[in-house]
A and B are shown apart, each in its own frame.
Chain A
Amino acid sequence: MRAPVPKLIRRPSRSAPSVVLALLLLAVGGLGAWLTGHRIVTGTWPDRTLTTLDAIGSTTLGSAAVLTAAGIAAACGLAMILAALWPGLPERVEILPDGVPGQTAVRRRDLAKLVRTQVEQIGGIHSVAVTTRRSRVDVIVLSVLDNLDPVHEAARKKTDEVLQTLQPVGITRSRVRIRRTS
């Protein structure tokens, strides 16, 4: 089966919750098919499940076990509805717009890697951690120097340079913080 041409920048496809739901359907459906199939063919429930089925049958709806199970199921159902309706942040960002029709995209993680690689080249920096938010890049610089201001300023300048070069669509701001490390 073939799919239509996908866009490069798209909302999360919610594969993980769908896989969980599929496994849940397989488990519950398989159990139900086995139990009811056995009952329809032989006229009795499977021997191994008699005790459990009796215990479930004799439980009242107001018991703690039923209420807990119903509460967990309701929470799972609501989580599934939220996962489906919440648009989510696109995993990729458009960068480097140019005259050629079409777009260039990069994963947010890779954009962070590109910024980190550039900022790490500044002297006096021990390590750099970069996170890309919805409209901002957060940079945390660790330095061993006593005077952090020049490094902070250089890191901020370099981050802005990288953003100006790559021109990530929707990401225009940066926040650079510096900490001393021993």
Chain B
Amino acid sequence: MRSVSGVLNRTVLVICGLIIAAASSWLLASGLSAGHSWPDAAPYMATAQDRVDSIIAPQAHWLLPTVALVSVLAVIFGLVLLAMQVPRKAAASPLRLSDSEGVLLATIAPDVLSQALSERIQDVPGVKRCTVWVTGSPSSLWVQAETTMSQDCEVEWAVAELRSRLEDDVTTSLGTSPRQVDVLVRLERSSSSRRFSQTVTGQHSPQITGNGDDA
């Protein structure tokens, strides 16, 4: 199953948020002359009357190359951060089947097993689409399925059926039951019956003119 790393995102947000908040707090404190009411901090702050260029000018010799370097790093980091938002697949290694003496019998690509399981699940009534990912080893397989189901189907029955089918199929094909079977259920976005009912309730009922004996 594809996912985005929340831990990485949150770490980056905290670090950048702290840097931005600290820099802007210094500007605010300097601009509001906080040094007057807090003399201990006054040496580390500028005064409200200082011009921006008068603060930058004494440090221009090292500030310019530093800002250039930081800008390039910011662009690179921004691109990496954007790329990190693309959901990534979980790591999956080839499944190696061995006999009781440890001799390698066969190697199965995880995609082959995933595809076979997906096709089996799509036969379950009510399941419109299904994608399966497998990861781990044959003796400890982790199966994750993302299924799209019809809104009108018996979801509880369909889920029970597809979970037991996934477990049985893995047990039959690999000889051991899977370590974990995770199923993410999504409902089909549009439903023709709902649109139909909305159309009917949204209109006035047809007017009856005359009496039924005219016909």
Residues of A within 8 A of B (CB): 1-6, 8, 10-15, 17-19, 21-26, 28-33, 36-37, 39-40, 56-63, 66-67, 69-71, 73-74, 76-81, 83-85, 92, 95-96, 98, 100-107, 110, 113-114, 117, 120, 126-127, 165-166
Give the secondary structure class of A's interface.
helix
Which residues of B1-34 are within 8 A (CB) of A?
Answer: 1, 3-6, 9-14, 16-25, 27-28, 30-33
Using Cβ atoms and an 8 Å threshold, which residues of chain A touch B85? 15, 18-19, 22
Shortest CB-to-CB span from B199 to chain A, Å, is 13
With A61-B49, A77-B16 known, 20 other A-B pairs at CB within 8 A are A5-B142, A13-B9, A22-B85, A28-B74, A29-B72, A29-B75, A29-B78, A33-B75, A62-B49, A66-B52, A67-B31, A70-B27, A73-B23, A74-B21, A77-B21, A77-B22, A80-B14, A80-B16, A101-B178, A113-B151
Quick one: closest B residue to A76, CB to CB?
Answer: B20
Q: Answer whether residue B99 sits at the interface, using C-beta atoms and an 8 A cutoff.
A: no
Shortest CB-to-CB span from A27 to chain B, Å, is 8
Using Cβ atoms and an 8 Å threshold, which residues of chain A touch B1? 5-6, 8
21 pairs of residues in contact across A and B, judged by CB atoms under 8 Å: A2-B92, A3-B3, A3-B88, A5-B90, A5-B144, A8-B1, A8-B144, A10-B6, A13-B9, A14-B6, A17-B13, A30-B71, A61-B55, A73-B24, A77-B19, A78-B21, A83-B10, A95-B159, A103-B182, A110-B186, A114-B187
Shortest CB-to-CB span from B21 to chain A, Å, is 3
Shortest CB-to-CB span from A18 to chain B, Å, is 4
User: A40 contacts B68, CB within 8 Å?
Assistant: yes
Using Cβ atoms and an 8 Å threshold, which residues of chain A touch B181? 100-102
User: A2 contacts B64, CB within 8 Å?
Assistant: no
User: A165 contacts B28, CB within 8 Å?
Assistant: no
Using Cβ atoms and an 8 Å threshold, which residues of chain B touch A70? 24-25, 27-28, 31
